[in-house]
Chains A and B, each alone.
Chain A
Amino acid sequence: QLQLQESGPGLVKPSETLSLTCTVSGGSISGSSYYWGWIRQPPGKGLEWIGNIYYTESTYYNPSLKSRVTISIDTSKKQFSLKLSSVTAADTAVYYCARVRIIIIPSIDYWGQGVLVTVSS
């Protein structure tokens, strides 16, 4: 059974960089039929797509966040990571890592449990 687990600081200061890592277990991170993505959800609000990465390291970022986002992948460690720079209180959210299955149509078939990141001094 595939599992994804986010890790990283739960508290980040304004203007600093948010860094999260997602560790994949129970399956391959190098498959050609999947992207690996990040989605966030501010408290009490809806879901926002952040971006995703293919095992070849091709990346796709939400244009509204593109100037601040970097997603990377380390297939040897079965991990992919999110960096979001110059954070503000508006970046406070639960951050989910996810697998995007690209068979038939892209759809998120596995999610991490999510990690709450609070931006505050």
Chain B
Amino acid sequence: DIQMTQSPSSLSASVGDRVTITCRASQSINSYLNWYQQKPGKAPKLLIYAASSLQSGVPSRFSGSGSGTDFTLTISSLQPEDFATYYCQQTYSTPDMYSFGQGTKLEIK
């Protein structure tokens, strides 16, 4: 099984801040990495796919980087609507095991 570990688990930041969330895979997953945003009571939303490709309609302040085992999601200038929980997901494995990270909760400072 491929384990995905996110850090930090929670983060406090202010509007306008630059924020980085990290995701580490237990083995190399090339660029088979997605990032999702989830707001309370809502389904997750795809932000970034293939480690660095921006999903259509997602603001350009979101960016992703990395390959192999280490990945980052960066929000260049936090907006009020960005306070949410973020999950990474690997889809390198067979389709029965598309595992998620444990999530990073981004809160207002």
**Chain A contact residues, CB within 8 Å of chain B:** 35, 37, 46-49, 51-52, 60-63, 66, 96, 100, 104-109, 111-114
Contact = CB atoms under 8 A, between A and B. Distances in A.
A61 B97 CA distance: 8
Contacts of B53: 104
Contact of A105 (B45, B49, B94, B103): B49
B66 interface: no
Interface string B35-53: 0100000111110011001
A106 B94 CA distance: 10
Given A60-B95, A96-B44, A104-B53, 12 more contacts: A37-B98, A49-B98, A49-B100, A52-B95, A105-B32, A106-B95, A107-B49, A108-B34, A108-B44, A108-B89, A113-B42, A113-B43
B96 interface: yes
Nearest to B95: A60
B3 to A, nearest CB: 13
Nearest first, the 9 closest Cβ-Cβ pairs linking A and B are A111-B43, A60-B95, A106-B91, A60-B96, A107-B49, A47-B100, A107-B34, A105-B50, A46-B103
A94 to B, nearest CB: 9
A113 B42 CA distance: 7
Contacts of B36: 108
Contact of B44 (A35, A37, A105, A111): A111
B7 interface: no
B8 to A, nearest CB: 15
A77 to B, nearest CB: 22
Given A46-B87, A49-B100, A105 B34 contact: yes
B17 to A, nearest CB: 24
